[in-house]
C-alpha cells in the first residue's frame, strides 16, 4: 500500500471518528430536551396506575430542569401540589397522628396502657397503615395520593375535629373529617365529595398490628379478624401461621382486626358491602424477628348519600382495648371480640356472659386485687356446686361400703365377667346405689372449668396485674428460663403450672384412696396421674390467672373433700341404710331395666358364639 492510500484511509478514519463524536453530542442534547419536556408533562398530567391493592399511585419523572419543573408544579391544583405534614389529634383515651398526604392516621397510641416492656402502647405505627378510597374520577384516583389542608377545631362539647380538604381543581373537592369524642375510643369519620357523583366508593383499610404483650408467638396465635353483618350473621378467622383471603357479599355492620387485648374496627350504620378480607401472620410475611403480630387488609364498598350538593359517606372507627364492658356498651355485638367460648365449646360463652362475668364485675366494684377476686369467685362457685360435690362423695362412700360384697361376687364369678356384671347390677339395684352417681355431679362442674379456661386469658383486667412472684396475670409466670426449647413443654418454668400439677396429683392420690378400684382394669389406676402430667406441658404457656385459678380450685377441692368425708359422711350409717334397702321391694327404673336386658342379651350371644365355633 503506497503513501496516497495510507493518507486516504487516515482521512476516512478521521471523518468517521468526527461523525461519531458529533452524532453522540446531538443525541445527548435531544435526550435532555425530551427529558425536560416529559418532566413538565408528567407534573401537569400525572400518570395513574391501579395496583393489586386498588391503591392509585401518581408517578412523576425525575426533575431535569428545576425551574421548568417548579413552574409546572405550581400550576397544578393544590391536591397535587403539597408537602406531607403530621398532625396530632388526641383525647383522654387515644392519641392519633395523621398525615396530610392521604388524610389518614398512621399511628395510634392508646393512653392508660403500656406494652409488656413498659413502653408507650401503639396499636399501629408507620406509613403502611392507611385508609383510602377510590374516587370516581381520573380512572380511579386514590384519596391516599392527594395532599390535604388540615384544620383542627375544638367543639363546645369537648370533642375535637380535624377537617382535611383536597382541592383537585375543576370544582372537584374531597373533604375527609375525623371527630374524636372527649372521652371515648370510637371516632366518627366521613368522606364528602363535591363535583363527583357516586352511589358508593371502594374503601381499602390496611393495618399492621404491633406486638404489645410478652409472648409474640402466642400473640400471633390470638390475632383474629371479626365481622358482623347487619342481619346478625357474622364470623371470625384466626390468623395462626398462614395467609387467608375471605369474601362476604352481605352488608357488613362492622369489621374488626383483633389482637390479644386490643382491637381496631370500622363500623358503618348504613353497612359496608362486598367485603374482601386478607390477613396473614406468616413469619416470612411479617418477618419473624420484627414486632409485627399480623398484617390485615379489608376492601369494601362505602355507601354514599347526596346531601347539600355533596356525596357523603359516614362510618365510625374504634381504636382501643378489648374491654368487655366498653365493647358491649356500643350495642352492636363488638363484645364478641372478647373470646369467651367458640367452636364445639361455644355453649360456655353463655355461662360466662350471664353468670361468671356479672360475678366478676360485682366483685371488682369493691375489690381491686384480681387474685383475691379469683379466689372469691372460686369459693363462690364451689359453694353453689357443693350439693353436687356432696352427692358425688356420698356415691363414692356407698361404693366403698359395698366393696367387700363386690369382692365376694368377683371371687364367686371368677373369669365370667358377664355374670359378674349382672350380679353387680343386682347388688347396686337392691342396695339403692346408682353406679353413675359419682360421675354425673362432677359433669355439672365441667362447664364451669371450661368457662374459666376461656374467660381468664381473654380478660384485659388481668393484664399487668401483680400477684406474689408473678408480674402479669395475663401471661405465664416464668421463674426460670432454659435458653432452649423442650418439646411439649417450652423454654421456661411456670411456677403456678407446677403447683397446679402437684395439687392435681395430690388430689388424684387422695381420690384413689377414697374410691374403690376395679382390679380388672389396671389402666384406670394410672390415668388420674398421667393426665396432670400431660396438662403441665399444655398449661406452661397459659395465663397465670388461669393456672392460679386451677391451683386454688384443687386446694379447695382437697379441703372440701376432707371436710365432707370427716364431718358429713358416716360410712357405718350408710352401710346400715344399704342393708335396709335390700329388704325393701325394688322398683327398677326404665334405665336399669334396659341396662339389664342388654347385659342378658350380651351373655346369651357369648354362649351361642362358642357353639357356632365348634360346629
Q: What per-residue confidence (pLDDT) applies to 4?
A: 41
Mean pLDDT, residues 369-376 = 94
Percent of the chain with pLDDT over 70: 75
215: confidence class by pLDDT, cuts 50, 70, 90: confident
Vertex 582: Cα angle to 577 and 585 (nearest 5)? 120
Residue 194 has pLDDT above 60, yes or no: yes
521: confidence class by pLDDT, cuts 50, 70, 90: low
pLDDT digits 0-9 by tens, 81-92? 888 899 999 999
Surface-to-core class of residue 443, CB atoms within 10 Å of its CB (0-12 exposed, 13-18 middle, 19+ buried): exposed
Q: Which of 403, 465, 474 lies closest to 433 in space, CA to CA? A: 403
Q: What per-residue confidence (pLDDT) applies to 143?
A: 93
Mean pLDDT, residues 494-511 = 89
Fold classification of 80-338 is Beta-galactosidase; Chain A, domain 5 (2.70.98)
Whether 219 and 253 have beta carbons less than 8 Å apart is answered as no
| pLDDT: which is higher, 585 or 114 | 114
pLDDT digits 0-9 by tens, 269-281? 889 988 888 877 6
522: confidence class by pLDDT, cuts 50, 70, 90: low
Q: What does the block give as the cell for 496?
A: 403456678
Of 48-62, 209-223, 443-457, 476-490, minimum mean pLDDT range? 48-62
Per 3-state DSSP, the chain is made up of helix, strand and coil in percentages (nearest 5) of 45, 30, 25
Q: What per-residue confidence (pLDDT) applies to 241?
A: 57
Mean pLDDT, residues 300-319 = 91
Q: Which of 56, 77, 195, 205 lies closest to 139 in space, CA to CA? A: 56
Whether 565 and 384 have beta carbons less than 8 Å apart is answered as no
How far apart CA 46 and CA 32 sit, in angstroms, is 20
Percent of the chain with pLDDT over 90: 36
Three-class DSSP category at 77: coil
Q: Which of 175, 178, 165 lies closest to 96 in space, CA to CA? A: 178
Q: What per-residue confidence (pLDDT) applies to 585?
A: 61
Could you say which DSSP state residue 183 is in? Answer: T
Strands 292-303 and 305-307: unpaired
Residue 37 has pLDDT above 50, yes or no: no
| pLDDT: which is higher, 27 or 134 | 134
What are the domain boundaries of the chain?
A: 30-76, 80-338
Q: What does the block give as the cell for 216?
A: 409474640
Residue whose entry in the numeric block shows the C-alpha cell 381543581: 169
Surface-to-core class of residue 545, CB atoms within 10 Å of its CB (0-12 exposed, 13-18 middle, 19+ buried): buried
Q: What per-residue confidence (pLDDT) applies to 519?
A: 55
Q: What per-residue confidence (pLDDT) applies to 248?
A: 76
pLDDT digits 0-9 by tens, 436-473? 666 665 677 788 888 988 999 999 999 999 999 999 99
Q: What per-residue confidence (pLDDT) applies to 439?
A: 67
Angle, in degrees to the nearest 10, between helices 386-401 and 403-413: 50
Show Cβ contacts of residue 229 under 8 Å, excluding neighbours closer than 6 positions: 248, 250, 251, 252, 253, 271
Mean pLDDT, residues 394-408 = 77
Q: What does the block give as the cell for 31?
A: 435526550
pLDDT digits 0-9 by tens, 559-603? 888 888 888 877 777 777 777 766 666 555 555 666 667 766 766
- Going from the C-alpha of 175 to that of each of 104, 136, 164, 378, the distances in angstroms are 12, 14, 6, 55
Average pLDDT value over all residues in the chain: 79
Three-class DSSP category at 341: coil
Question: Hey, which of 279-293, 407-421, 577-591 has the most confident mean pLDDT?
Answer: 407-421
268: confidence class by pLDDT, cuts 50, 70, 90: very high
| pLDDT: which is higher, 177 or 157 | 177
Could you say which DSSP state residue 474 is in? Answer: T
Whether 194 and 309 have beta carbons less than 8 Å apart is answered as yes
Amino acid at each position: 500500500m503506497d503513501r496516497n492510500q495510507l493518507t486516504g484511509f487516515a482521512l476516512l478514519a478521521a471523518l468517521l471518528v468526527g461523525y461519531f463524536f458529533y452524532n453522540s453530542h446531538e443525541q445527548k442534547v435531544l435526550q435532555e430536551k425530551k427529558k425536560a419536556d416529559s418532566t413538565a408533562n408528567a407534573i401537569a398530567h400525572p400518570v395513574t396506575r391501579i395496583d393489586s391493592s386498588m391503591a392509585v399511585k401518581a408517578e412523576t419523572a425525575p426533575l431535569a430542569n428545576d425551574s421548568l419543573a417548579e413552574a409546572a408544579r405550581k400550576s397544578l391544583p393544590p391536591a397535587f401540589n403539597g408537602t406531607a405534614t403530621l398532625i396530632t389529634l388526641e383525647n383522654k383515651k387515644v392519641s392519633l397522628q395523621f398525615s396530610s398526604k392521604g388524610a389518614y392516621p398512621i399511628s395510634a397510641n392508646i393512653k392508660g396502657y403500656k406494652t409488656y416492656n413498659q413502653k408507650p402502647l401503639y396499636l399501629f405505627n408507620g406509613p403502611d397503615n392507611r385508609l383510602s378510597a377510590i374516587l370516581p374520577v381520573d380512572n380511579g384516583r386514590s384519596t391516599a395520593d392527594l395532599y390535604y389542608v388540615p384544620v383542627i377545631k375544638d367543639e363546645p362539647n369537648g370533642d375535637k375535629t380535624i377537617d382535611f380538604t383536597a382541592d383537585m381543581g375543576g370544582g372537584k373537592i374531597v373533604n375527609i373529617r375525623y371527630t374524636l369524642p372527649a372521652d371515648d375510643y370510637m371516632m366518627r369519620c366521613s368522606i364528602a365529595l363535591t363535583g363527583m357523583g357516586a352511589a358508593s366508593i371502594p374503601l381499602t383499610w390496611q393495618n399492621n398490628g404491633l406486638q404489645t404483650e410478652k409472648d409474640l408467638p402466642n400473640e400471633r396465635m390470638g390475632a383474629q379478624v371479626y365481622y358482623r353483618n347487619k342481619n346478625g350473621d357474622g364470623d371470625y378467622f384466626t390468623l395462626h401461621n398462614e395467609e387467608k383471603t375471605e369474601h362476604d357479599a352481605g352488608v357488613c355492620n362492622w369489621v374488626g382486626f383483633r389482637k390479644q387485648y386490643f382491637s381496631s374496627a370500622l363500623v358503618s350504620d348504613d353497612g359496608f358491602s362486598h367485603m374482601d378480607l386478607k390477613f396473614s401472620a406468616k413469619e416470612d410475611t411479617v418477618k419473624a424477628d420484627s414486632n409485627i403480630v399480623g398484617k390485615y387488609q379489608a376492601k369494601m364498598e362505602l355507601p354514599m348519600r347526596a346531601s347539600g350538593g355533596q356525596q357523603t359517606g359516614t362510618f365510625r372507627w374504634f381504636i382501643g382495648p378489648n374491654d368487655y364492658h366498653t365493647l358491649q356498651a356500643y350495642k352492636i355485638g363488638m363484645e364478641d371480640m372478647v373470646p369467651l367460648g367458640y367452636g364445639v365449646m361455644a355453649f360456655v360463652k353463655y355461662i360466662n356472659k350471664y353468670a361468671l362475668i356479672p360475678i366478676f364485675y360485682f366483685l371488682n366494684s369493691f375489690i381491686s386485687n384480681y387474685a383475691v377476686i379469683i379466689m372469691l369467685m372460686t369459693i363462690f362457685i364451689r359453694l353453689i356446686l357443693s350439693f353436687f360435690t356432696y352427692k358425688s362423695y356420698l356415691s363414692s362412700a356407698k361404693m366403698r361400703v359395698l366393696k367387700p360384697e363386690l369382692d365376694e361376687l368377683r371371687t364367686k364369678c371368677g373369669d365370667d365377667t358377664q355374670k359378674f356384671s349382672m350380679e353387680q347390677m343386682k347388688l347396686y339395684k337392691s342396695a339403692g346405689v346408682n353406679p353413675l352417681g359419682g360421675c354425673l355431679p362432677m359433669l355439672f362442674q365441667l362447664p364451669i372449668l371450661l368457662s374459666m379456661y376461656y374467660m381468664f386469658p381473654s380478660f384485659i383486667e388481668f393484664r399487668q396485674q401483680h400477684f406474689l412472684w408473678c408480674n402479669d396475670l395475663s401471661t405465664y409466670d416464668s421463674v426460670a428460663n432454659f435458653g432452649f426449647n423442650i418439646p411439649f413443654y417450652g423454654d421456661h418454668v411456670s411456677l403456678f403450672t407446677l403447683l397446679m400439677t402437684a395439687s392435681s396429683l395430690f388430689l388424684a392420690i387422695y381420690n384413689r384412696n377414697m374410691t374403690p378400684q376395679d382390679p380388672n382394669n389396671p389402666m384406670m389406676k394410672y390415668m388420674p396421674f398421667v393426665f396432670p402430667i400431660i396438662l403441665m406441658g399444655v398449661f406452661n404457656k397459659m395465663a397465670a390467672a388461669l393456672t392460679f385459678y386451677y391451683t386454688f380450685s384443687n386446694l379447695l377441692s382437697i379441703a372440701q373433700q376432707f371436710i365432707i368425708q370427716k364431718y358429713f359422711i358416716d360410712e357405718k350409717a350408710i352401710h346400715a341404710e344399704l342393708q335396709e334397702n335390700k329388704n325393701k321391694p325394688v322398683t327398677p327404673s326404665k334405665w336399669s331395666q334396659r341396662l339389664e336386658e342388654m347385659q342378658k342379651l350380651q351373655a346369651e350371644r357369648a354362649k351361642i358364639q362358642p357353639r357356632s365355633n365348634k360346629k
